[in-house]
Structure 1
Amino acid sequence: MADSVEIVKKFYDETVHYEWDRLDRHKVEYELSKRYMNRYIKPNDSVLDLGGGPGKYSLYLSELGCDVTLADLSQNNVDFAMNKAQEFELPLNSICIDSRDLSAFEDGHFDHVLCMGPMYHLKEENDRVKTINECLKKLKPNGTLFVAFVSSFSFVWDYLISNPGMILTDERKSELNIILDDVNFSGHGFTDNFFIRPKDVLPFFEKFELEKLHLVNCESFLYLREPELLKQSPEVITAWLDLAEQVCEREDLMSLAEHFMYIGRKYKDK
């Protein structure tokens, strides 16, 4: 696991600007995720943004009036986020940290924890469990946990959109066969990655002291046409987002997602 951590850390240290721009390229994911956050996160709430990268969500929530701490494995991402916070004149706390050990924080400190990146890269089940348990320790009773995953179908949609000819190369064809094998993916994707089948997300959380609030398809049904959609007027984009939000929890649309977001509430007596 130590080698895997270094691989992931190096990847994000070298792709800070690309990651900062990613949620502009994938505005559907960003906007739908924010809409669900806004249902629970309010001004003056304390938020831990674990795996927050260069700080898109952290800065958004800081601007909303929250007390935000960004925590990330990549020091370059942390530094970038702090520079952006200074540029935008927004308060932001930060720390470089491994998601599996949050002992730097007081237990029961945060109203909300975002875990919007670690599950993409923790290839071992015990590391994913350890991370969620750490998040729960740092949450207040009744606090909300937001956890993002990448879908095992994401290879298929990405290759179909970006370069359909990839199906003719042996390596890419092997990856695309995931859709035939119907398995989770744990290995080298865009770096060391874990991608999960839609039907495995909710069973994963059954072992934790959480009340399920939502399982969200963060792209709803828009992902395959997102580049074309984002060329439209703001009014058109908003209208499609409004429609997409109303169906993004439908089970029959989950396979269209690139990202899922599980939202749960920590039991009050835990």
Structure 2
Amino acid sequence: MENIIKYYEHQCEDNRLMADRAHSLEYLTTIRYLDRICSKQVKILDACAGTGAYCFYLAKKGNAVIAGDIVTNNINIIKEKQKINPILKDIYTGDICNLSKFENESFDVVLCLGAFYHLHDENERRKAMLECKRVTKNGGNIVVAYLNRFASFVNNFSNEPDNIHEILNQFYTGNKNVFYRSTPEEIENLMVECKIVKKHNIATDGLSFMYSKQLESISEIEFEEYLNYHYSTCENENILGYSLHGLFIGEK
């Protein structure tokens, strides 16, 4: 955990999600699906809130949102934003593997939009999901973001073909420094084990990492056409593993 905290002292998720069109696909696709399950006033726990990319968006739509993160630096950024626009119900620093501050069935929706990028240990991933499930109301939704090791292999090999040994090691283990890469099957199997019913498994940014320059070069109208294509194919299992980022939405 110390390595994760240290890493995010020098990173800003808000900047990453809006760096260019390829990166914005992850954000645009995620809020598209969040809008479906948060279409009315609901109580939401954003348990890996980062710097607040999603919690403030959801709170502005009238939802009651509590935001938490394990990284103190991220929480400090959220608190500064809250001073300008105080719409979150609460903000806390904490670990998603321990949500003991919340009672059972406290939330309509629980977001885990980051922890699975870093939980190398299978038992920790299971513990995180069981905690998310515990604090979710019956019939409520659990949303989990994850990294794909198939897309990561293609991306890394395209950029560093001379580093094939290390890239393959990362592929087979899923591990790279503070990051953990999963697979759609692994995520779905974990959810079955935790008795969380699949609603969607989504390729949030598709294959955009392979043609990010092309996305930047097209007009706004053409980008809208691309978005329509992306939205119509992002749940297609043929490309699911080749999206750098995945999003699982399940029901308790």
TM-score by length of 2: 0.91
Instruction: Choose from 47, 53, 57 the match for 1:56.
Output: 53
Residue 178 of structure 1, CA deviation: 5.0
CA distance in structure 1 between the partners assigned to 2:157 and 2:16 by the alignment: 18
1:24 maps to a residue whose letter is: M
Counterpart in the other structure of 2:180: 194
**What's the % identity of the aligned pairs?**
26
- In structure 2, the CA distance between the partners of 1:34 and 1:98, relative to structure 1 (3 Å rule), is same
| 1:259 paired to 2:245 | yes
After superposition, residues 241-252 of structure 1 pair within 5 angstroms as 241-252=227-238
* Structure 2 residue ranges without an equivalent (≥5): none
Counterpart in the other structure of 1:34: 31
Instruction: Choose from 225, 232, 235 the match for 2:218.
Output: 232
Residue 21 of structure 1, CA deviation: 0.4
Whether contact under 8 Å (2:113, 2:144) holds in the other structure is yes
Counterpart in the other structure of 1:185: 174
Counterpart in the other structure of 1:126: 123
CA distance in structure 1 between the partners assigned to 2:89 and 2:167 by the alignment: 40
Counterpart in the other structure of 1:73: 70
Q: Deviation digits for residues 155-213 of structure 1, max 9, x if unmatched?
A: 3344367xx2x322xxx43332258xx6341341xxx1211123322112111122110
Instruction: Determine helix, strand or coil for the equivalent of 1:80.
Output: helix
Instruction: Choose from 156, 165, 174 the match for 2:165.
Output: 174
2:228 maps to a residue whose letter is: D
Residue 152 of structure 1, CA deviation: 0.6
| Aligned-pair Cα RMSD in Å | 1.9
CA distance in structure 2 between the partners assigned to 1:53 and 1:263 by the alignment: 19
| 1:22 paired to 2:16 | yes
CA distance in structure 2 between the partners assigned to 1:10 and 1:197 by the alignment: 26
2:3 maps to a residue whose letter is: I
CA distance in structure 1 between the partners assigned to 2:223 and 2:80 by the alignment: 30
Residue 22 of structure 1, CA deviation: 0.7
- In structure 2, the CA distance between the partners of 1:141 and 1:84, relative to structure 1 (3 Å rule), is same
CA distance in structure 1 between the partners assigned to 2:184 and 2:119 by the alignment: 17
Counterpart in the other structure of 2:2: 6
Pick which of 87-96 and 73-82 moved more. Answer: 87-96
| 1:212 paired to 2:230 | no
2:47 maps to a residue whose letter is: L
Whether contact under 8 Å (1:184, 1:196) holds in the other structure is no
Instruction: Determine helix, strand or coil for the equivalent of 1:140.
Output: strand
Residue 234 of structure 1, CA deviation: 3.1
CA distance in structure 1 between the partners assigned to 2:51 and 2:32 by the alignment: 20
Residue 107 of structure 1, CA deviation: 1.5
- In structure 2, the CA distance between the partners of 1:143 and 1:97, relative to structure 1 (3 Å rule), is same
Aligned residue pairs total: 249
Whether contact under 8 Å (1:51, 1:118) holds in the other structure is yes
Counterpart in the other structure of 2:111: 114
CA distance in structure 2 between the partners assigned to 1:43 and 1:91 by the alignment: 16
Whether contact under 8 Å (2:67, 2:88) holds in the other structure is no
* Structure 1 residue ranges without an equivalent (≥5): none
Q: Deviation digits for residues 59-93 of structure 1, max 9, x if unmatched?
A: 11111111111110111101101212332453352
CA distance in structure 2 between the partners assigned to 1:240 and 1:50 by the alignment: 31
